[in-house]
Chain A
Amino acid sequence: MLTVTDLACARGGVPVLSGVSFAVPAGGVLILRGPNGVGKTTLLRTLAGLQPALSGTVDFPEDQGAYASHADGVKATLTVTENLTFWAQVHGSRMPDDILATFDLETLRDRMAGTLSAGQKRRLGLARLGVIGRKVLFLDEPTVSLDAFSVRLFADFLRDRHLAQGGLAVIATHIDLGIDAPELDLTPFKAGPQTTGGSDEAFL
Chain B
Amino acid sequence: MIALLIRDLRLAVRAGGGFGLGLAFFLIVIVLVPFGVGPEAAVLTRIAPGILWVAALLAALLSLDRIFALDFEDGSLALLATSPLPLEGVALVKALAHWITTGLPLTLAAPVLGFLLNLDGPAYPWLLASLALGTPALSMIGAFGAALTVGLRRGGLLLSLLVLPLYVPTLIFGAEVVRRGAEGMPVTTPLLMLAGITVGGFALLPFAAAAALRVNLR
Is B183 among interface residues, defined by CB-CB distance under 8 A?
A: no
Q: How far is the CA of A48 from the CA of B80 in the complex (A)?
A: 12
Q: Does A3 contact B (CB under 8 A)?
A: no
Query: Is the beta-carbon distance between B10 and A78 smaller than 8 angstroms?
Result: yes
Q: Tell me, in angstroms, the Cα distance from A82 to B75 when the chains sit together.
A: 17
A75 touches B11 (CB 8 A): yes
CB distance from B89 to the nearest CB of A (A): 11
- The yes or no answer to B29 lying at the interface (CB within 8 A) is no
- How many chain A residues touch the partner (CB < 8 A)? 28
Cross-chain contact of B74 among A51, A66, A74, A86 (Cβ < 8 A) = A74
The reply to whether B3 and A73 contact each other, CB–CB distance below 8 Å, is no
Chain A: which residue is nearest B218 at the CB level?
A51
Q: Is B81 an interface residue (CB 8 A)?
A: yes
Once A71-B78, A73-B76 are accepted as A-B contacts, the answer to whether A91 and B83 lie under 8 Å apart by CB is yes
> Among residues 61 to 81 in chain B, which have CB atoms less than 8 Å away from a CB atom of chain A?
71, 73-76, 78-81
A77 pairs with B78, CB closer than 8 A: no
Cα separation A50 to B81 with both chains bound (whole Å): 8
The chain A residue with its CB closest to the CB of B83 is: A90
**Residue numbers in A under 8 Å from B74 (CB-CB):** 71-75
If the complex has contacts A49-B82, A50-B81, A66-B82, are A75 and B4 also in contact, measured as CB distance less than 8 A?
A: no
Chain B 1-32 near chain A by CB (<8 Å), digits 1 or 0 = 00110010011001100000000000000000
Pair B218/A50 contact, Cβ less than 8 Å: yes
Q: Is A69 an interface residue (CB 8 A)?
A: yes
Q: Is A63 close to B, CB under 8 A?
A: yes
Q: Does A5 contact B (CB under 8 A)?
A: no
> How many residues does chain B have at the interface if contact means C-beta atoms less than 8 Å apart?
22
**Chain A interface mostly:** loop
Residues of chain B in range 32-75 having any CB-CB distance to chain A below 8 Å: 71, 73-75
Chain B residues lying within 8 Å of A87, measured Cβ to Cβ, are 79, 83
- Judged by a CB distance under 8 angstroms, whether A67 is at the interface is yes
Which single residue of chain A is at the shortest CB-CB distance from B90?
A90
List, in ascending order, chain B residues with CB within 8 A of A128's CB.
Answer: 79
Tell me the smallest distance from the CB of B11 to a CB of chain A, in Å.
6
Chain B positions within 8 Å of A78 at CB level? 7, 10-11, 14
Interface pair B82/A48, CB less than 8 Å apart: yes
Indicate which residue in A63, A68, A70, A77 contacts B15 across the interface (CB closer than 8 Å). Answer: A77
A91 and B84 in contact (CB under 8 A), knowing A71-B73, A75-B74, A86-B7?
yes
- Tell me the bound Cα distance from A128 to B80 in angstroms: 12
Taking the closest CB of chain B, its distance from the CB of A198, in whole angstroms, is: 14
B84 touches A50 (CB 8 A): no
What residues of chain A lie closer than 8 Å to B73, measured between beta carbons? Answer: 71
Q: Which residues of B contact A71 (CB under 8 A)?
A: 73-75, 78
- In the complex, the answer to whether B217 meets A50 with C-beta atoms within 8 Å is yes
With the chains together, A69 CA to B74 CA distance in Å? Answer: 10
Q: Which 6 A-B pairs have the closest CB atoms?
A: A71-B75, A89-B3, A73-B76, A77-B14, A51-B218, A73-B79
Q: Which A residues lie at the B interface, using CB under 8 A? A: 48-52, 63, 65-75, 77-78, 82, 86-87, 89-92, 128, 132
Query: Please, could you name 8 A-B residue pairs with CB atoms under 8 Å apart, sorted by A?
Result: A50-B82, A51-B218, A73-B74, A73-B76, A77-B15, A78-B10, A78-B11, A90-B4
Beyond the given A50-B81, A72-B75, A77-B14, could you list 10 further A-B residue pairs with CB under 8 A, ordered by the A residue number? A51-B217, A67-B78, A73-B75, A73-B79, A87-B83, A89-B3, A90-B4, A90-B84, A91-B83, A92-B84
